Structure 1
Amino acid sequence: MRRRTAIAAAGAAAVGAAAATATTAAFAGGRPRPSGTGFVRGADISGLIKNEDFGAVYRRADGRRGDAIKILAESGLNCIRAKVWVDPADGYNTKTQVVELGRRAKKAGMDLLVDFHYSDTWADPGKQYKPAAWEGLSFADLKTAVYEHTADVLGALKSAGVKPGLVQVGNETNGGFIWPDGRWDQLEQMAGLLTAGCDAVADVLPGAQKILHLAEGGNSGAFQWFFDNAVANGVPFDAIGASFYPYWHGELSGLAANLDDLATRYGKPLYVVETAYPFTTEDSDGFGNIMTDPEPVPGYPSSPEHQSYWIEAIADVVKAVPNGLGKGLFWWEATWTAVAGAGWDPADPSSGNGWENQALFDFDDRALPGLRTLGGL
């Protein structure tokens, strides 16, 4: 009773007492709620192929081994997300792997969100490194490179019989992207580069939604500044994506307020394209985990059960966005279990995985309850 009271109290502070009560009740019997129609229930699995190449295996909750993407689909997920780097040191997260993941997703009956980083490595608010091959290009040629890279990847997917419904132009671009040319202090150039990517999407896959994506999903000021500038400079985007990690980005009430404001202000579909939560504080590869707090959010200890509760709580926020504009939720790197050789740094084969305690598969390779929860939204 004390645990459920704590969960209800934490949820009430963020999404209201009714939502918290529904969340607790929905899982009292260990079953996810029936899937809603039209809501994107997704997982970023960008690291899957590298993990598989280094020996990772995946099992259903009952221990039966299977293909990870099939397990996701069986659990009720309807979309995967995969990032694209330009020329990474390890050769992963390129057009080759995105096409393979796209084929497998389509075969399993799922859609694909393509996440363009426009870098050779991780792109986020703190770093947006220009691809080495694009160094020294004039700004006009840089726009051409963005267009051609985007069109090339999407064209390869189209040729493979895969037409992604969602395409993300840039990753966590709070301070712009492809620095320094598209940095926050070069707003017109930033808009020009974003437009080049969006134009490529429109030309190759006219039916796909073009998403612009920021981190810090509870930071309304950052989103308003960015999207006001995007609108003022004529960037032809269709939807807005947000990252929201509660241990970094604040309370769910902040996310709810920001999403509600975005829906009213811009009238665009909204997606939380990244979130996660730990199912344990333990480590399985000897490489320190990013999140080790035994209770990152008050009332939500790091456990499989509360990982499930977190999925429900954030989904309730997205689904409550006005005018039905809250369209979906993606778990970040759901299949990134710890395997030697498949670490975070593409330039360092000895690097480890600091995320395995936030995957949706446990240290015995079994699907966690949260996977079924996500698929049942």
Structure 2
Amino acid sequence: MTHSTHRRRALAGGAALVVALTTAGLAIGPSAAGYGEAVIEPVETDLAGKGWVTARATSNDADAGNALDGDDGTAWRPAASTSGSRHGKRDQALTVDLGGAYDGLHKVEVVLADAAPARYVVEASADGKRWTTLADHRDGRSGAAGTTALVDRDGTRYLRVRFTAPRPGTNGVAELHAYNYLRDDLRLGADLSYADQERDQPYYLDAEAALAGEPDPGPHLLDVVKDRGMEHLRLRIWNDPRDETTGVETDPAYQGPERSLTVAEEITDHDMSLGIDFHYADSWADPSKQPKPRAWAELPFDELTQEVHDFTADYLTQLVEQGTTPAKVAVGNEVINGFMYGSEAEIIGTTAPAYFVEEADVYQSQPGGGLLWDYWRSEDPAEQQLYTEQWDRFGTLMASGIRAVREASPESEVEIHAIVDAGRLDKTMEFWTQLLTRLEAADAAPDVLALSYYPEWHGSPEALEHNLHTIADAFPQYALDVAETAYPAESWPPGDPAPLPNSPFPVTVQGQADAIQRVFQVANDVPGNRVQGVLVWEPANWQPMFTWVETGQGWFPEANASLDVFHDSDVTHVLEDTVHVVTAVGDDVRLPRRVDVLTPADGDVDGVRVTWQDVPDDATAEPGTVTVDGTTDHGPVTATIHVLP
């Protein structure tokens, strides 16, 4: 078990956190749990149960997988050592390959096949060649029955249990557990573009303050999400913001280039990193609709390509010059079906947005970058030619935007953002293969491949895990992102907490926390530290993580308890929470007075005192096992007492 606070904000004991607010010079007390209830524990994954983790052994290799099967009743046992090496008797080893490097692997537990003395060493490696000792039990006395080792090293891929000079009938490994925690560099945040509209709306950090109707209702939305642990915020950019139905320009021009410059400054002032998401549209762009901006709608394709470059470069130049260089830039939004639709929309059959259809003579007058999926795998040569031509156009437009990012903001990473429809991974793999082949040939490859994940449309958490792994394996040269995810805390109409399709989590505040944390976990567990971050979609507006509460001053939004998932998912201390003690029938039991605890932030491993419950009087009356619970300042500990004849 583990205990957490925010990994980037050390709190001493119960001391209050005072946040200096930039908006009004206010000082406020500690952040509260928020609306509703949610119990949030740090993310912890036993990687040994994952399908991509494998085991091999120097002897009895066919049984190596027994150490990963979750069954203490099966085991890998080494053969007796043989002579023949210049060092004398040969060691026998079980080696586990985690499938890729992990920076958040901090605890390894080895359960031996027998509660009997054994001489063995537990080791870790990044490359399978150079090994670091995690636990040394070559004395033949310590570590009987098993051991728990804490790990302070980045890039762990291989774990090894090496038995030194094993004898006939020697011990073996029943189970090996490898526990992964959130990496410190996994970037957690949100698309918070609606912060533009919310500039004048106060938000509560503290539920008690809200319900008490304090005169000053609270800080800005950015203060709240910063306080709750968000680190990266993304802004969508519409070219010339318009009403999605009428096509009429909106006033104010929310999420337009000019207003978003101001929001970018506010994000940077809050010491959060910035992401920019170019929609290349005047209203929403997503898998079902990708309208061109009105100003570009009638441009010939070559001029459209140049406009994409110039618009992208000009806006990024403005961001850089005002000191808000984006950490990441998405060229297009959810572009699985292409973007900037033009005359090909007639074949695609798009019916949205309304103005795009009603003014087809404008918006569909010239070719764009829409993809003709209906012609995929067609045996008609003419349809295949059109399919290829539209891929070429899409790739040309995408390359133009990517080149603009490289020129105007070379410090920014370039992201391409798509989706995987439930059951349609083959389509997404075709998407990446076709697009990346063209971009690599044009020397315009991106840095990051991103997905949206909403369970009702994109499948279960296990499907997300499978999809990320498949993409990571197919395209090892690219990093990955979960660019959007969300989950509701309340159904509409209210009253039905049943989970969304493809999800195991109820529609409650607790369910919201669990669903979002599950995405964090899936992303963090992809081997090789490949996923850079997870962003929640518009937590103040869409399936929101805020609830409006009535106070003495009116109605104000207050953070759900689930918003704490951004800091409470991190681990601050990893405890040696399992110990094994071997004794004989009738003997006294000696439990350790202290166990180890690792602080990942600084790599320190210290001892912490354990307070044990009383050992039963008859604990050693006969052979078997007895468990005793203990407590520490960093969580509970369990001792397994192995009583031998």
* TM-score (ref. length: structure 2): 0.48
Q: Aligned pair 1:374/2:566, yes or no?
A: yes
Question: In proportion to residue count, which structure has more helix?
Answer: 1
Q: Aligned pair 1:362/2:537, yes or no?
A: no
Structure 1 runs of 4+ with >6 Å offset: 15-18
Question: Pick from 367, 391, 395: which aligns with 1:187?
Answer: 391
CA distance in 1, matches of 2:510, 2:297: 47
Return closer, same or farther for 1:266/1:72 CA change in 2, 3 Å cut-off: same
Return closer, same or farther for 1:139/1:374 CA change in 2, 3 Å cut-off: same
CA distance in 1, matches of 2:314, 2:567: 32
Q: For residue 415 of structure 2, what is the amino acid of its counterpart?
A: I
CA distance in 2, matches of 1:265, 1:206: 26
Match of 1:246 in 2: 455
Q: For residue 57 of structure 1, what is the amino acid of its counterpart?
A: P
Match of 1:40 in 2: 187
CA distance in 2, matches of 1:156, 1:207: 14
5+ residue gaps, structure 2: 1-37, 39-44, 52-67, 69-179, 211-216, 242-248, 343-367, 373-389, 550-556, 570-645
Deviation at 1:368, TM superposition (A): 1.2
CA distance in 1, matches of 2:469, 2:267: 31
Match of 2:420 in 1: 216
Match of 2:115 in 1: none
Deviation at 1:375, TM superposition (A): 3.6
Match of 1:280 in 2: 490
CA distance in 1, matches of 2:398, 2:430: 15
Moved more, 114-123 or 180-189: 180-189
Q: For residue 202 of structure 2, what is the amino acid of its counterpart?
A: V
Q: Aligned pair 1:76/2:229, yes or no?
A: yes
Q: Aligned pair 1:122/2:327, yes or no?
A: no
Q: Aligned pair 1:134/2:291, yes or no?
A: no
5+ residue gaps, structure 1: 5-10, 19-32, 285-291, 337-354
Equivalences for 1:136-151 in 2 at 5 Å? 136-151=298-313
CA distance in 1, matches of 2:427, 2:264: 32
Question: CA RMSD of the aligned region, Å?
Answer: 2.6
Deviation at 1:323, TM superposition (A): 1.0
Q: Aligned pair 1:300/2:505, yes or no?
A: yes
Q: For residue 71 of structure 1, what is the amino acid of its counterpart?
A: V
Question: Pick from 221, 238, 250: which aligns with 1:85?
Answer: 238
CA distance in 2, matches of 1:116, 1:359: 23
Q: For residue 548 of structure 2, what is the amino acid of its counterpart?
A: F
The answer as to whether partners of 2:421 and 2:457 remain within 8 angstroms in 1 is: no
Deviation at 1:157, TM superposition (A): 1.0
Moved more, 216-225 or 362-371: 216-225
3-state DSSP of counterpart to 2:326: coil
Q: For residue 103 of structure 1, what is the amino acid of its counterpart?
A: E
The answer as to whether partners of 1:34 and 1:376 remain within 8 angstroms in 2 is: no
Match of 1:7 in 2: none
Q: For residue 187 of structure 2, what is the amino acid of its counterpart?
A: V
The answer as to whether partners of 2:196 and 2:260 remain within 8 angstroms in 1 is: no
The answer as to whether partners of 1:123 and 1:172 remain within 8 angstroms in 2 is: yes
3-state DSSP of counterpart to 1:363: strand
Equivalences for 1:249-260 in 2 at 5 Å? 249-260=458-469
Question: In proportion to residue count, which structure has more strand?
Answer: 2
Q: Render the CA deviation track for 1:72-94: whole Å, top value 9, x for unaligned.
A: 11111110011000111221111
3-state DSSP of counterpart to 1:59: coil
CA distance in 1, matches of 2:432, 2:458: 19
CA distance in 2, matches of 1:293, 1:305: 11
Q: Render the CA deviation track for 1:291-342: whole Å, top value 9, x for unaligned.
A: x873215541111111001111111110111211011100001122xxxxxx
Q: For residue 123 of structure 1, what is the amino acid of its counterpart?
A: A
CA distance in 2, matches of 1:199, 1:150: 9
Q: Render the CA deviation track for 1:155-209: whole Å, top value 9, x for unaligned.
A: 1111110011110000011110001210113000100000011011100111211
Q: Render the CA deviation track for 1:225-270: whole Å, top value 9, x for unaligned.
A: 1110112212421101111101121111111111011111112111
The answer as to whether partners of 1:264 and 1:322 remain within 8 angstroms in 2 is: no
Equivalences for 1:171-182 in 2 at 5 Å? 171-180=333-342, 181-182=368-369
Match of 2:445 in 1: 236
Deviation at 1:215, TM superposition (A): 2.3
Q: For residue 544 of structure 2, what is the amino acid of its counterpart?
A: A
3-state DSSP of counterpart to 2:196: helix
3-state DSSP of counterpart to 2:558: coil
Return closer, same or farther for 1:265/1:34 CA change in 2, 3 Å cut-off: closer
3-state DSSP of counterpart to 1:311: helix
Question: Pick from 60, 65, 69: which aligns with 2:218?
Answer: 65
Deviation at 1:135, TM superposition (A): 1.5
Return closer, same or farther for 1:34/1:188 CA change in 2, 3 Å cut-off: closer
Moved more, 217-226 or 93-102: 217-226
Match of 1:202 in 2: 406
The answer as to whether partners of 1:174 and 1:226 remain within 8 angstroms in 2 is: yes
Deviation at 1:41, TM superposition (A): 0.5
Match of 2:165 in 1: none
Deviation at 1:370, TM superposition (A): 2.1
Return closer, same or farther for 1:99/1:164 CA change in 2, 3 Å cut-off: same
Return closer, same or farther for 1:177/1:368 CA change in 2, 3 Å cut-off: same
Deviation at 1:282, TM superposition (A): 4.5
Q: Aligned pair 1:108/2:108, yes or no?
A: no
Q: Render the CA deviation track for 1:25-54: whole Å, top value 9, x for unaligned.
A: xxxxxxxx997411110111111222445x
Higher RCO (C-alpha 8 Å, min separation 6): 1
Match of 1:50 in 2: 197
CA distance in 2, matches of 1:146, 1:100: 22
CA distance in 1, matches of 2:234, 2:453: 16
* TM-score (ref. length: structure 1): 0.80
Return closer, same or farther for 1:359/1:201 CA change in 2, 3 Å cut-off: same
Match of 1:159 in 2: 321
3-state DSSP of counterpart to 1:80: strand
Match of 1:28 in 2: none
The answer as to whether partners of 1:217 and 1:244 remain within 8 angstroms in 2 is: no
Return closer, same or farther for 1:210/1:376 CA change in 2, 3 Å cut-off: farther
The answer as to whether partners of 2:523 and 2:534 remain within 8 angstroms in 1 is: yes
Deviation at 1:57, TM superposition (A): 2.8
CA distance in 1, matches of 2:524, 2:278: 26
Deviation at 1:372, TM superposition (A): 1.4
